[in-house]
Amino acid sequence: MFTEFLPISRQEMLEKGIDRPDFVVVGGDAYVDHPSFGTAVIARLVQALGFKVCILAQPDYSSCESFKEFGKPKYGFLIGSGNVDSMVTHYTVAKRRRETDDYSPGGKVGLRPDRALTVYSRLAKQAYPDLPVIIGGIEGSLRRFVHYDYWSDSVMPSILIDTGADLLSFGMSERQTARIVQRLANGEDIKNMTDIPGTCYLTTADKLPDGYVECAGYNKVKTDKISYSKATRIQMENQDHISAKPVVQKQTDNLYLVQNKPAKPLYRAELDRLFTLPFTRLPHPSYEKLGGVKAISEVEFSIIHNRGCFGGCNFCAITMHQGRFVTSRSHESVLKEAQMITGSPHFKGYIHDIGGPTADFRIPSCKKRVTEGMCPDRKCLAPTPCPNLMVDHSDYLELLRKVRSLPKVKKVFVRSGLRFDYMMLDKDDTFINELVKYHVSGQLKVAPEHFAKQTLKYMGKPPIGVYDKFSKKFYQATKKAGKEQYLVPYLMSSHPGSTVKDAVELAEYLAKNKIRPEQVQDFYPTPGTVSTSMYYTGLDPYTLKPVYVAKDSKEKAMQRALLQYYNPKNRQTVLRALKMVHREDLIPLLLPGSAKTKSEIAENKKSKRKAKPVANWQEIQKRNKRLGRNK
C-alpha cells in the first residue's frame, strides 16, 4: 500500500530508490494527489500496474530541459494539460486574461502556457525524439477532430497534427491507458497500436480501418460551414461505446485522423477499485510555502459517486468526454471514502457533496441502452422525456441516508448538478422531501440556463414550465420542513438562438418571480460541443437550419445585463435593450424610477405624435425660404 506522494523532482525520485522512471506523467496543474485530478488518477493507475512513475507538474516551458528532469523514461510520456482546457483557465469569455489560477500554487498565473498540451508534447519530442508521446485529458479529448477555436477565431486541425504526439487517448482514459502502457512494456511499437478503443491516431488512406464513417476533412470544413455542421453531427452520433463506428477525418493531403470507437466505461467494480488507489487526497507539500492550491478546497471533502450524463445539453462537453452512459460506484465504496474523509484532521463534520456530472443519476437511462447503446438521434430528457426512461432515486437516496448516519458526519450536502426535470418525473416525492430537509445548505443550485422557449430548444433543455413546477414543489417541501431555503438558477446569456428579445423575456420572468441571480455567464464557445458548432456556423447541425448567433460585443453586453437587470450599473444598457425591442412597457418592472406608470409611457408617446406635424411644418417653412417660395 503506497502512502506517499509520487516524486515530482529528480531528488524525490532518487530518495524513493528510483533510478529511472518507466513513465513520466506530465500535467498543467499543480500536483494534487486526489481522485478529482486527472494527472493523479492516471499516475496512480500506472503505478498500480507495477510501473515506476514520476510526475512532471507545470514544467518550465521555455525549453525542453525540464522534460529531462528524471532522465529518459524507459517507455514514454503520458501528457495532459490539466483539469480544465488551458485556454479556458487563462482567458474569460471576453478574452481577457484571468488574474488568478486556482490550479496553481498561490493562484499564480503563467505557470502553464497557452495551448499547454501542444507545447508540452512538442517539448517532450524535442527532449527525446524517439520516445512515444501519448496525449489525453480534456484538452486532447475535445480537440481530437477539426474544431473551431474561439480564441483565434479560426478552424484548427486535430490536436494530433499540432502536437506531433503518437497517440491520443480520449475520454476518461483509464481503460485505454492500461492497455497502452502494458503493450509498450511488452515491446510493441506505438505505431502499431491502432486497435485500442478510446484512442485516435493518424494514418494514410491505404490503412484506414474497416467499417468506418467519414466526415468532411480540414480543408473542406474550414471554408464550408454546412460541411462543418454535418461533420459535427457525425462525430456526436458516434460517441457510444456500443453503437459507434470508427470516424475518419482527413487532416492534410496525406494524413487522416481515425477515432476508434469509445472505450467501455468503467463499470461498478472497476470504479470501486479505482477509488481504492492510494491517493493522499492532498496537494504536494512543496506547495504549502507558495500559498497552497485553492482547487483542493472544492473537492477535499466531496465524493464522486458516478460518471457520465444522459442529459445531453448542447453546450456541455460531457458527451464527447465522459459520454452519455451512466455508471456508478457501490455504496460500500462511497461509504469507505466517506469514512476516510471523516478521519482527516481538517474535517469539520460536513461532506460538501456526493455527486458527479449529474448527482442524481446512478443507473443507465433505460434497459435497452445496456445492450444496444445510446440513441444517436434523440435525447433522453429534452425537449420531452423518452417514454423508455427509467426514473428511480431510491438507490441514491439510500446512499445519502447511509453517509449522513456515519459517526462524525453532521451534514451531507448535494451541490453538484441535479436534474430538476428528472426529479419531476419521479412519482414518489420522498427524494425531494429528504433532499430539502437534509441536503441543502440554504440554497439549491439548479440549471434551467434560460427561460425563453427558442433558446431552451437550442440548448437542449426542457421547457420552462418544468422548472416552474419544480420550483413550486421545492418551496412546498421547504415549507413542510420548516426551513427558509431558496432556489438559485444557473443562467447563461448569448447562447446560440438567443436574441435580445429572448433576453428581455428572460429578464421579465426573473423580475416577475423576484429572482436576482448573482452569478451569470456568457456562453463560452469551447471545442467539442454542439453549441460551439452552432456559434461558428450559424446552423443547427441536426437540421441545417439557420440559428441566430449574438456576436456583437454591444449586443452580448445587453443580454448579459438583462440577467442582472436590478444592478444599477446595468441600468442604461437594460434601457437601450428594452427600447431596441420596443418593450418600454417593461421599464416600470425592470427599471423602477425610469418611468413610473404605463400611462406615463403612453402619454410620452402621445406627446411625441403631436409634436411631429409641428416639426414637419417648420421644415417646410425653412425649405421654402431657401427656395425663395415664401413670397
Residue matched to cell numbers 516551458: 61
Q: What's the confidence (pLDDT) of residue 626?
A: 53
Q: Which of 412, 467, 472 is nearest to 437 (CA)?
A: 412
Cα–Cα distance, 455 to 559 (Å, whole number): 12
- HEC states along 331-364? HHHHHHHHHHHHCCCCCCCEECEEECCCCCCCCC
pLDDT digits (tens, 9 = 90+) for 350-367: 999 999 999 999 999 998
Print the domain residue range for 477: 444-596
pTM of the entire predicted model: 0.91
C-beta of residue 388 within 8 angstroms of C-beta of residue 353: no
- pLDDT for 594 equals 61
96-136 pLDDT, tens digit per residue, is: 999 999 999 999 999 999 999 999 999 999 999 999 999 99
480 and 394 share one domain? no
Choose one of 441, 468, 484: the last residue of a domain.
Answer: 441
User: Residues of the chain with pLDDT > 70: what percent?
Assistant: 94
Contact residues for 130 (Cβ-Cβ < 8 A; gap 6+): none
For residue 597, what pLDDT band results from cuts at 50, 70 and 90?
very low
Q: 452 with 464, same domain?
A: yes
**Rg value, the chain, Cα:** 28
What is residue 1's predicted lDDT score, i.e. its pLDDT?
35
pLDDT, position 370: 87
Q: Quick: pLDDT tens for 144-154.
A: 999 999 999 99
Residue 194 domain-assigned (yes or no): yes
Is pLDDT above 80 for 613? no
- In this prediction, residue 259 carries a pLDDT of 98
Q: Which residues pair with 522 in a beta bridge?
A: 493
Read off the pLDDT band of 606 (50, 70, 90). Answer: low
Q: Which of these three, 441, 459, 491, is where a domain ends?
A: 441
Tell me the sheet residues that pair with 283.
Answer: 32
Residues 81 and 216 in one domain: yes
| Residue 89 placed within a domain | yes
Residue 581 has pLDDT above 90, yes or no: yes
Q: How many domains does the chain have?
A: 3
Question: Are 68 and 59 in contact, with CB atoms under 8 Å apart?
Answer: no
**Residue at a domain's end among 417, 441, 465:** 441
Q: What is the pLDDT of residues 396-424, one digit of tens each?
A: 999 999 999 999 999 999 988 899 999 99
Write the pLDDT tens digit of every residue in 14-50: 999 999 999 999 999 999 999 999 999 999 999 999 9
What pLDDT, on a 0 to 100 scale, did the predictor assign at position 417? 84
Burial 325-349 (b: 16+ CB within 10 A, else e): bbbbbeeebbbebbeebbeeeebee
- 400 and 476 fall within a common domain: no
- Considering the domain architecture, whether residues 428 and 458 belong to the same structural domain is answered as no
CATH number where 455 lies? 3.30.750.200
In sequence order, what are the beta bridge partners of 411?
350
Share of the chain above pLDDT 90, in %: 89
> Does one domain contain both 152 and 190?
yes
Answer yes or no: is 3 within a domain.
no
Residue 631 has pLDDT above 90, yes or no: no
Angle (CA) 432 437 443, round 5°: 85
* C-alpha–C-alpha distance, residues 301 and 299, integer Å: 5
pLDDT at 602: 53
- Residue 623 within a domain: no
Q: Is the pLDDT of residue 610 over 70?
A: no
DSSP β-bridge partners for residue 156: 147
Quick check: 616 pLDDT over 70? no
Residue 615 lies in a domain: no
How does pLDDT run across 299-332, given as a tens digit for each residue? Answer: 999 999 999 999 999 999 999 999 999 999 999 9
180-226: pLDDT as tens digits: 999 999 999 999 999 999 999 999 999 999 999 999 999 999 999 99
Q: Could you give the CA distance from residue 601 to residue 587 in angstroms, rounded to a whole number?
A: 9
pLDDT level of residue 369 (50, 70, 90 thresholds): confident
pLDDT band at 72 (very low <50, low <70, confident <90, very high): very high
The pLDDT of residue 343 is above 80: yes
- Please, which pLDDT band fits residue 457 given cuts at 50, 70 and 90? very high
DSSP state of 119: H
**Which cell is 186 given?**
511488452
Q: What average pLDDT does this structure show over 59-86?
A: 97
pLDDT of res. 3: 61
| CATH number, domain containing residue 369 | 3.30.750.210
Mean pLDDT in the chain? Answer: 93
Using CA atoms, how far apart are residues 27 and 57, in angstroms rounded to an integer?
Answer: 5
Is 488 in the same domain as 396?
no
On the 0-12 / 13-18 / 19+ scale of CB atoms within 10 A, 597 is: exposed
Q: Is residue 74 part of a domain?
A: yes
Tell me the CATH number at 140.
3.40.50.280
Domain membership flag for residue 81: yes
Q: Is the pLDDT of residue 620 over 50?
A: no
SS3 content of the chain, % helix, strand, coil (to 5): 40, 15, 45
Same domain membership, residue 330 and residue 391: yes
Asked whether residue 432 falls in the same domain as residue 540, the answer is no
> Is residue 40 located within the same domain as residue 164?
yes
Indicate whether 393 and 495 sit together in one domain.
Answer: no
**Cα(579)–Cα(69) distance, rounded to whole angstroms?**
62
Note whether residue 324 is domain-resident. yes
Mean pLDDT for the stretch of residues 593-620: 46
In this prediction, residue 368 has a pLDDT band, given cuts at 50, 70 and 90, of confident
Q: How many CA atoms lie within 13 A of 442 on its CB side?
A: 0
| pLDDT value, residue 377 | 80
Say whether both 56 and 199 belong to one domain. yes
Distance of alpha carbon 172 from alpha carbon 168, whole angstroms? 12
Three-state secondary structure of 448-484 = EECCCHHHHHHHCCCCHHHHHHHHHHHHHHHHHCCCC
pLDDT: is 460 or 623 the higher one?
460
